[in-house]
Amino acid sequence: MELIKVQGIYGALRVTASSGRGKRCIKGALLFMIIICLSCQSGIVYHPAKEIRATPSKIKLPYNDLYLVTSDNVTIHGWWVPAQNGKGTVLFCHGNAGNISHRLETVLLLNKLDLNVLIFDYRGFGKSEGSPSEEGTYRDAEAAWNYVTTIQKKDPKKVIIHGRSLGGAVASWLAVKHTPSMLIIESSFTSMRDIARHHCSFTPALAIISYEYNSLEKVKDLRCPLLIIHSTDDEVIPYAHGQRLYAAAGEPKELVTITGTHNRGFWDSKTLYLEALRQFADKNLK
């Protein structure tokens, strides 16, 4: 999750406010900044990469290249990576930057747990068509769910929805709409407005954020077990966001605390990380 800071802009615009002309200048400048923020929101939230740098064959895993069509006729790209003795399936929703080729370490770890993996790129990422949006990411995730449950014919009671960073919000939406065996939210935020407030003190801009990604409200409606994984060292999304998500959700739920940076915590803490995933999956896969 990468967010651009515009800290201090509002304070800088408070000069010469005593005169009428100064006030008009400030209002004009604020209006200009708000328009800029509105037009740039997508570029602030999403950082897609188009080049696929590697495939699961690099980590010696068989896979199928997939092209899925969403409900609004956008073609998105993904990989189906079967496990040799798949005891369940993970539908993985990645974060706001890069593409699926940057998540091979994650695919490898999940495969080691004897879990099939469907990992996909949101529209505008990698080989997927279109441009990203909040509604678009939800439609993309639903296309992935439909593939797992209708094409691969996996029982929802054997499907784990797993989202990291921005993907945690997408995964939360999907898990409320379609009840899986469990939901995993990793290194994610309570809402887009909350994380923007943490990174940006420009109050007028915060007032017009059009993205919600409100996981805090979503987890209240979950009808499946929830595992939250968050690092106390997370420099992008504070650990407190994981704690708040945990507090808002009903039982059964677990909070696993790891260490390491936002992007590398799962790998730096992989022994703890893998054991937490293993235990939670074994307990809740029916």
**Positions marked active-site:** 165, 234, 262
| Cα gap 142→177, rounded to integer Å | 9
Cβ contacts of 26 within 8 Å, gap of 6 or more: 13, 14, 16, 17
**Collapsing DSSP states into helix, strand and coil, what is residue 242?**
helix
- Cα–Cα separations (whole angstroms), residue 144 to 57, 78, 100, 159: 21, 8, 14, 12
| Cα gap 178→134, rounded to integer Å | 18
| Cα gap 203→89, rounded to integer Å | 42
Cβ contacts of 240 within 8 Å, gap of 6 or more: none
Dihedral sign for Cα 78, 214, 166, 168, please.
negative
Q: How many CB atoms lie within 10 A of CB 7?
A: 10
Cβ contacts of 176 within 8 Å, gap of 6 or more: 218, 221, 222, 223
